[in-house]
Structure 1
Amino acid sequence: MKSELDDQLCRKYPTLYRDRHGDPKSTAMCWGFDCGNGWFPVIDVLSELLSKHNAEVYASQVKKQFGSLHFYYSGRDKYTDGLVSSAQSLSSMLCEICGSQALIQTKYTGWFTTRCKEHTKDYSDKEYVELDVSKVAYLGFGKAWSALVLILIDSCDWRTEHNGMPATHLSITKEAGKLIVSHSGGDDFTYTIRSLHARFQ
C-alpha cells in the first residue's frame, strides 16, 4: 500500500496501529500494510468498526495471504472476529489494485492475488472469469451491490452449514440509493457482518 494511505490509516486509528513503527522483534506491523491500494476502503471501514467497538484493540499484522486480506490483532471477541472474517471475505471479491469487482487469480508461479479483469492482464495464466452473481440477479442490483449481497448470503449460509449457526432469513432492499439489509434468525455473527456491509457500501 502506498505511503499516503498507510499514513492516513495510522493518523485516523492511532491506537489500533500503535505498533506501525514498532520493533520488528515484537510486531509484524512494522512492515506496514502489505497489500494493494484497492483494499484501503475495506481496511478503513474495518479499522473504524474495530476502534469504535473496543479502543484497546491493536493490530499486529495486516497483509495479503492466499489472495485475501488477513488481519491479525489483539483484543479479540466474537464481534471483532466476525468483522475481520467478513472483511476477509469482502476482500476476496475486490481488486487489490483498484478496488473494482474481482476474483482470486492464480499466477503461473503459484501466487494468488485478487484482481479485476483489467489488472489480470499479464498476471494470471488462466482466462479471467467474471464473478457469477446470478444467484442474486432477482434483486436487480448492479455488479457492486450484487457482489456485496452475495458475500453476505454466502457467509451466513457457510456459518449455518459448518458452524451450526441458526438459519438466517435476510430481507434485502434498496431505499433512497442505499442498500438496506434486515434479518431474522442467525446469531451475533449475522449482526456483525451486516454492520460491515452497511458501512462499506
Structure 2
Amino acid sequence: MMVEVMTEEGKLNENLCWSIGLPEGWQPLYEGLIRKIFAVDASARVVDAKEKFGEMRVYMAEYDEAVFALIDVANAKSRTICQKCGGRAVLSRTADGFFATVCSNHADGFLPATSSPLRHVRMVVPKSDLWDPDRDDW
C-alpha cells in the first residue's frame, strides 16, 4: 500500500480552497489569514470557513493557541470589511435579526447593529490521546 504525502504547497492550497464558501469581500482577508497561519504552523488544517452572524468564522482540525490568536484578529477585522465588496463596513442588522457586515453601498435593509449577535466562547476539547473517559481526575 502506498501512502501519498501531501506537499506543503498542497496543504496550503487545500486550506485556501475553503475561501469559496466565504462572501467575496472577505476572500482576500481569508487568504491572508491562511498564509499567516501557514507561516506559524504548516500542518494546520482548516475544516470549515463561513460567514456566521455577520463575521468570518474559521474552524481548525487541531487546537493551537498561536493559530487561534490569528483567527481572532481576522474575525474582528471581518466585522469592518464589507462581505460583498471588501470596502469599509460595520456589523449591521435587519429588522428581523439577520446580521451582515456591509458598507453603505450594500446596506439596503440594514442598520448598524447596536450589539453583538452573540458572545464568543472558546471551548477546548482535550486531545484524544490525553483524555481517558474512565478517569475521574480530569
TM-score interval for Structure 1 and Structure 2 normalised by the shorter chain = 0.5 to 0.7
Look up the equivalent residue of 2:93 and give its one-letter code: T
* Structure 2 gap segments, 5+ residues each: 1-7, 114-138
Q: Is the 8 A contact 2:79 2:90 kept in 1?
A: yes
Distance in 2 separating the partners of 1:94 and 1:34: 16
What pairs with 1:120-131 in structure 2 (closer than 5 Å)? 120-121=107-108, 123-124=109-110, 126=111
Deviation of 1:41 after TM superposition, in Å, equals 1.4
| Structure 2 residue 48 is matched with structure 1 residue 77 | no
Aligned equivalent of 1:107:
94
SS in 1 for 2:14: coil
Is residue 40 of structure 1 aligned with residue 49 of structure 2?
Answer: no
- What displacement does 1:44 show? 1.0
State TM-score, norm by structure 2: 0.67
1:90 aligns with 2:77: yes
For structure 1, list consecutive stretches of 5 or more residues without a partner in the other structure.
1-11, 22-28, 130-201
Q: CA deviation at 1:17?
A: 5.6
Aligned partners of 1:96, 1:13: CA distance in 2, in Å? 27
Please point out which of 41, 52, 60 is paired with 1:54.
Answer: 41
1:138 corresponds to which residue? Answer: none
| Secondary structure class of the residue paired with 2:92 | strand
Q: Secondary structure at the match of 2:25?
A: helix
Residues 19 and 87 of structure 1, relative CA distance in 2, 3 Å threshold: closer
Does residue 1:14 correspond to 2:10, yes or no?
A: yes
Return closer, same or farther for 1:17/1:72 CA change in 2, 3 Å cut-off.
farther
If asked which structure has higher relative contact order (CA below 8 Å, sep 6+), I would say 2
Residue pair 2:82, 2:88 contacting (<8 A) in 1 also: yes
Mapped partners of 2:33, 2:39: distance in 1? 10
Question: Counting helix residues as a fraction of each chain, which structure ranks higher?
Answer: 1
Name the CA shift for 1:13/1:43 in 2 (closer, same or farther; >3 Å): farther
Alpha-carbon distance between aligned partners in 2 of 1:19 and 1:98, rounded to the nearest angstrom: 22
Q: In the alignment, residue 115 of structure 1 is paired with which amino acid? A: V
Mark the CA change 1:83 to 1:101 in structure 2 (over 3 Å): closer, same or farther: same
Q: 1:90 to 1:20 in 2, by over 3 A?
A: closer
Please report how far the alpha carbon of residue 112 of structure 1 lies from its aligned counterpart in structure 2 after TM superposition.
Answer: 0.6
Q: TM-score under structure 1 normalisation?
A: 0.47
Q: Is the 8 A contact 1:13 1:51 kept in 2?
A: no
The letter for the 1-side match of 2:11 is T
Alignment match, 1:158: none
Describe the superposition over 1:56-101 as per-residue Cα deviations: whole angstroms up to 9, x where unpaired.
1111100011110000012332210100000000000110011111
For 1:87, the aligned partner's letter is A
- What do you get for the CA RMSD once the two structures are aligned? 2.5
Residue 117 of structure 1 corresponds to: 104
